[in-house]
Amino acid sequence: MPDTMSRPLAGPEEGPARFNRRRLIRVIAILVIGIVLVLAIWQEPLNAGG
């Protein structure tokens, strides 16, 4: 009878994940930086006009 408490190994046999943690953090950081830059560019003409 197989041991039901053992978990299958999910290591090198699997291919690379499409969205791993490092790539997800990189994408989120790029999006946040892009949003901040767009907001800063949009805010500049408002301050210049006032």
pTM: 0.50
pLDDT for residue 15:
59
- In 1-50, DSSP assigns E strands to none
Q: Which residue has the higher pLDDT, 42 or 10?
A: 42
Burial class (CB in 10 A: 0-12, 13-18, 19+), 45: exposed
Q: Hey, what are 33's tokens?
A: 């930086």
* Each residue's pLDDT tens digit, 2-35: 566 776 665 555 556 676 889 999 999 999 999 9
Q: Hey, what are 22's tokens?
A: 């490092």
